């Protein structure tokens, strides 16, 4: 088959997608207005999760420190706002540029190493950044978090209110637009090449694909998107804490992605929704027990559903069709 | 001068503790390429074994140490046999997540049985005081740590270099395919190595109670340190781990003592830089 035709067919919009987006728009606004702030948190987390899916699910780069870019974006937008420029959209753009630049620098290291060294470098960079943000307390607010963020009205019209309508609409709109961008990217020849590199880097080299350059591109892009997610969090909650950089956030985001299923973008969104809703519902539980269930769930998913929930559903559907 | 010496010795003792905690992981990671982030959880098991025996059953501290080793090794062997073996082929990410999940669950179980408070053990009198060496007073427990670590190192090195089993392990680490081809049962060698390595972590966990204090998040706390030792030292290299652990211990203690605001930062920076230049660590074979 002609490859362009194949790509086009792969990129066709499925009926599930057409149903999904209106639902996530309508549900929090009309049915669960008290959950609006949770919903915008979920949208932000889903965006962050998608950024990890780009490098982990598609390009096969395992990162245990992706929260570093999330945090860089959050601090970039937060500091900009705290120093007197609270316009949200330009704040996002600024955070994206800063985080992408950091990602570009780091990408030179990332593409050189594999396995344990890759894990340790991403992990180490995350810890490094936490220590840095902590010791630059006068600048970042240190352990108390960054104070004094004031987000102006969105487009000069909508105020970020306590109820979080603007925040959710804003986060969801950004998520949707960037999702479309990512969807376009992973279904382009470039995205396909990334998958090929993930599956067999030697072969793509032999076919003439510049592996490292490709991986650097997607890593930079992913860092930028993670930065935007961080900036969204900073702008909608008007605070930035050290946790936004930390290992826990990096680990949680990887858990969500695995839970939902890697390499399919919707897995990232689904994982974020399930994880965040479950945590919200079980918040009354002792955190220790919450970790027990998360740990158990993680082990079960790895053992029995290695492709995540969406991957499992897909396999079930395929089985059903064959009957 | 004597103060500097005391700090360096403190750091070295701390490094020896890290060595005990990480040497098993270095060998098993090099052997099976199984990324086991739950190694720290096994150390925690050893810690709680000793805590239970000393504080709840009233045993003397020294008598509990062999059991910290043994019970941890048995538990680790069971996990290897029934769970880990299924994910050797599952890829790095799945291994990372599975073992992190195990750490989560283990810390919750520990919290359920022992509570979230910090635990300590009563040490016998001869381990609590100071011993004068020349003009410096050194804490007896640190000296004890160094002695134990050196003895264990000697046993491990001798075991790997001069026994038949050690030769099999070395052969499997160096080239698993050829080792299999020559008829070695690599899976069984690995299971045994895994149990022994985890047992050493359990011993390390028991010895760490007095230095790091024991709580349910122990497995996470030492994970990063252990991984740094293994990655910097190089997979499968005993001497690499030894050197890396000693350096990490000394840097950490001295850093916190002399430049407290930069201590941890420098360690991470050093590790990232070293792995960037030498992705296989100092003495990594592969």
Q: If DSSP codes are grouped into helix, strand and coil, which group holds residue A195?
A: helix
pLDDT digits (tens, 9 = 90+) for B257-266: 887 777 678 8
pLDDT digits (tens, 9 = 90+) for B70-113: 999 999 999 988 888 888 877 788 888 889 889 988 988 888 88
Q: If DSSP codes are grouped into helix, strand and coil, which group holds residue A159?
A: coil
The CA distance from B200 to the nearest CA of chain A, in Å, is 21
Q: If DSSP codes are grouped into helix, strand and coil, which group holds residue A240?
A: strand
The reply to whether residue A302 touches residue B262, judged by beta carbons under 8 angstroms, is: no
Chain centroid, CA A176 distance in Å? 13
Position A158 pLDDT exceeds 70:
no
pLDDT of residue A83: 78
Please list every residue in chain B whose beta carbon sits closer than 8 Å to the beta carbon of residue A109. Answer: 272, 276
B70–A contact, CB cutoff 8 A: no
Q: Percent of chain A at pLDDT above 70? A: 92
- The CATH number assigned to the domain with range B2-277 reads 1.10.3470
The reply to whether residue B281 touches residue A112, judged by beta carbons under 8 angstroms, is: no
pLDDT of residue B219: 83
A292–B contact, CB cutoff 8 A: yes
Q: Which of residues 244-273 of A touch B (CB under 8 A)?
A: 251, 254-255, 258, 262
The reply to whether residue B279 touches residue A297, judged by beta carbons under 8 angstroms, is: no
* Predicted confidence band of residue A163 (pLDDT cuts 50, 70, 90): low
Task: Report d(CA B162, CA B239) in Å as an integer.
Answer: 16
- Over chain B, what HEC string results? CHHHHHHHHHHHHHHHHHHHHHHHHHHHHHHHCCCCCCHHHHHHHHHHHHHHHHHHCCCCHHHHHHHHHHHHHHHHHHHHHHCHHHHCCCCHHHHHHHHHHHHHHHHHHHHHHHCCCCECCCCCHHHHCEEEECCEEEEHHHHHHHHHHHHHHHHHHHHHHHCHHHHHHHHHHHCHHHHHHCCCCHHHHHHHHHHHHHHHHHHHHHHHHHHHCECCCHHHHHHHHHHHHHHHHCCCCHHHHHHHHHHHHHHHHHHHHHCCCCHHHHHHHHHHHHHHHCCCCCCCCC
* Predicted confidence band of residue A157 (pLDDT cuts 50, 70, 90): low
The CA distance from B94 to the nearest CA of chain A, in Å, is 6
pLDDT of residue B1: 67
pLDDT digits (tens, 9 = 90+) for B24-33: 888 888 777 7
A132–B contact, CB cutoff 8 A: yes
Average pLDDT, chain A: 83
Please list every residue in chain A whose beta carbon sits closer than 8 Å to the beta carbon of residue B22. Answer: none
Q: For A53-62, A180-189, B276-285, which range has the lowest pLDDT when averaged over its residues?
A: B276-285
* Predicted confidence band of residue A5 (pLDDT cuts 50, 70, 90): confident
pLDDT of residue B274: 84
State mean pLDDT over A112-127: 83
pLDDT digits (tens, 9 = 90+) for A296-320: 888 888 888 878 788 888 888 888 7
pLDDT of residue B169: 86
B225–A contact, CB cutoff 8 A: no
- If one compares A211 and A31, the residue with the highest pLDDT of the two is A211
Position A229 pLDDT exceeds 90:
yes
Residue B101 is nearest to which of A117, A128, A295, comparing CB atoms?
A: A295
Position A82 pLDDT exceeds 70:
yes
pLDDT of residue A319: 81
pLDDT digits (tens, 9 = 90+) for A42-78: 899 999 999 999 998 888 888 888 999 999 999 988 8
pLDDT digits (tens, 9 = 90+) for B153-202: 889 888 888 999 888 888 888 888 888 898 888 888 888 888 988 999 99
Tokens, residue A51: 């950024």
Q: Which of residues 42-81 of A touch B (CB under 8 A)?
A: 56, 62, 64
Domains and CATH numbers, chain A: 16-286 (1.10.3470)
pLDDT of residue A102: 92
Measure Cα distances from B134 to A145, B5, B138, B150, B171 in Å: 49, 11, 10, 21, 45
- If one compares B279 and A213, the residue with the highest pLDDT of the two is A213
pLDDT of residue B75: 93
Task: Report d(CA B20, CA B229) in Å as an integer.
Answer: 11
pLDDT of residue B286: 53
Task: Report d(CA B236, CA A159) in Å as an integer.
Answer: 59
What sign for the dihedral angle of Cα A25, A28, A29, A35? negative
Position B9 pLDDT exceeds 80:
yes
Q: Which of residues 166-225 of A touch B (CB under 8 A)?
A: none
- If one compares A238 and A42, the residue with the highest pLDDT of the two is A42
CB A228 within 8 A of CB A95: yes
Please list every residue in chain B whose beta carbon sits closer than 8 Å to the beta carbon of residue A198. Answer: none
Q: C-alpha angle A280/A285/A288, rounded to 5°?
A: 110
State mean pLDDT over A269-276: 88
pLDDT of residue A192: 86
Task: Report d(CA A271, CA A297) in Å as an integer.
Answer: 12
pLDDT of residue B185: 87
pTM of the model: 0.85
Position A86 pLDDT exceeds 90:
no
CB B87 within 8 A of CB A288: no
Tokens, residue A234: 């900073």
Q: Report the candidate in A104, A121, A141 with the shortest Cα–Cα distance to residue A234.
A: A141
Task: Report d(CA B241, CA B160) in Å as an integer.
Answer: 15
Tokens, residue B156: 């491990």
pLDDT digits (tens, 9 = 90+) for B106-156: 988 888 888 878 888 877 777 777 877 777 778 888 888 889 889 988 898
pLDDT of residue B285: 63
The CA distance from B35 to the nearest CA of chain A, in Å, is 8
pLDDT digits (tens, 9 = 90+) for B38-72: 898 999 999 999 888 888 888 888 888 889 899 99
B212-243 burial string, b = 16+ CB within 10 Å, else e? bebbbbbbbbbbbbbbbbbbbbbbbbbebbbb
Q: Mutate which of A299, A301, A305, A306 to disrupt the B interface (most B C-beta within 10 Å)?
A: A299
The CA distance from A292 to the nearest CA of chain B, in Å, is 4
Torsions phi, psi of B165, nearest 5? -60, -40
Torsions phi, psi of A54, nearest 5? -55, -45
pLDDT digits (tens, 9 = 90+) for B207-262: 888 888 788 888 888 888 888 888 888 887 888 888 888 888 888 888 888 877 77
């Amino acid at each position: 088959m002609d490859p362009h035709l194949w790509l086009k067919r792969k990129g066709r919009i499925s009926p599930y997608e057409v149903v999904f987006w209106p639902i996530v728009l309508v549900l929090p606004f009309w049915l669960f207005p008290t959950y609006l702030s949770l919903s915008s948190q979920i949208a932000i987390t889903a965006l962050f999760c998608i950024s990890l899916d780009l490098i982990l699910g598609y390009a096969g780069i395992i990162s245990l420190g992706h929260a570093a870019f999330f945090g860089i974006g959050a601090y970039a937008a937060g500091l900009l706002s705290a120093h007197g420029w609270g316009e949200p959209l330009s704040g996002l753009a600024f955070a994206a540029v800063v985080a992408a630049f950091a990602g570009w620098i780091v990408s030179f290291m990332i593409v050189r190493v594999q396995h344990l060294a890759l894990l340790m470098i991403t992990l180490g960079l995350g810890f490094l950044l936490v220590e840095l943000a902590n010791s630059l307390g006068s600048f970042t607010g240190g352990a108390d978090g960054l104070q004094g963020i004031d987000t102006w009205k969105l487009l000069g019209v909508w105020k970020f209110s306590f109820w979080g309508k603007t925040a959710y609409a804003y986060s969801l709109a950004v998520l949707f637009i960037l999702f479309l961008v990512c969807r376009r990217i992973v279904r382009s020849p470039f995205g396909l090449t990334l998958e090929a590199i993930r599956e067999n880097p030697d072969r793509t080299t032999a076919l003439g694909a510049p592996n490292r350059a490709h991986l650097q591109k997607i890593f930079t892009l992913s860092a930028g998107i993670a930065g935007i997610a961080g900036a969204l969090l900073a702008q909608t909650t008007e605070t930035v804490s050290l946790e936004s950089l930390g290992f826990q956030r990096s680990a949680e985001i990887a858990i969500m992605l695995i839970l939902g299923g890697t390499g399919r973008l919707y897995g990232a969104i689904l994982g974020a929704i399930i994880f965040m809703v479950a945590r919200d519902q079980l918040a009354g539980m002792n955190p220790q027990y919450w970790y027990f269930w998360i740990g158990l769930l993680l082990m079960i998913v790895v053992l029995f559903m290695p492709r995540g929930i969406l991957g499992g559903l897909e396999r079930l559907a395929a089985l059903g069709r064959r009957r | 001068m004597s103060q500097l010496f005391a700090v360096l010795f403190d750091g070295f003792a701390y490094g020896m503790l890290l060595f005990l905690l990480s040497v098993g992981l270095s060998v098993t990671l090099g052997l099976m390429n199984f990324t086991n982030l739950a190694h720290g959880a096994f150390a925690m098991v050893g810690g709680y074994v000793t805590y239970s025996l000393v504080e709840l059953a009233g045993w003397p501290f020294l008598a509990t140490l062999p059991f910290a080793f043994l019970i941890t090794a048995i538990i680790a062997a069971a996990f290897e046999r029934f769970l880990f073996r299924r994910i050797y082929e599952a890829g790095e990410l799945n291994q990372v997540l599975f073992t992190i999940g195990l750490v989560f669950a283990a810390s919750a179980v520990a919290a359920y049985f022992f509570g979230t408070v910090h635990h300590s053990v009563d040490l016998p009198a001869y381990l609590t005081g100071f011993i004068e060496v020349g003009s410096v007073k050194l804490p007896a427990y640190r000296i004890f740590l160094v002695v134990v670590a050196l003895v264990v190192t000697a046993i491990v090195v001798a075991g790997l270099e001069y026994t038949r089993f050690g030769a099999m392990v070395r052969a499997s680490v160096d080239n698993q395919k050829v080792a299999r081809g020559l008829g070695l049962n690599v899976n069984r060698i690995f299971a045994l190595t895994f149990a022994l390595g985890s047992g050493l972590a359990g011993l390390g966990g028991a010895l760490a109670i007095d230095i790091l204090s024991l709580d349910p998040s122990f497995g996470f706390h030492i994970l990063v340190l252990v991984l740094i030792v293994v990655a910097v030292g190089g997979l499968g290299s005993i001497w690499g781990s030894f050197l890396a652990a000693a350096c990490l211990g000394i840097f950490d203690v001295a850093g916190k003592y002399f430049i407290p605001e930069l201590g941890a930062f420098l360690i991470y920076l050093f590790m990232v830089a070293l792995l960037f230049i030498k992705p296989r660590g100092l003495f990594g074979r592969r």
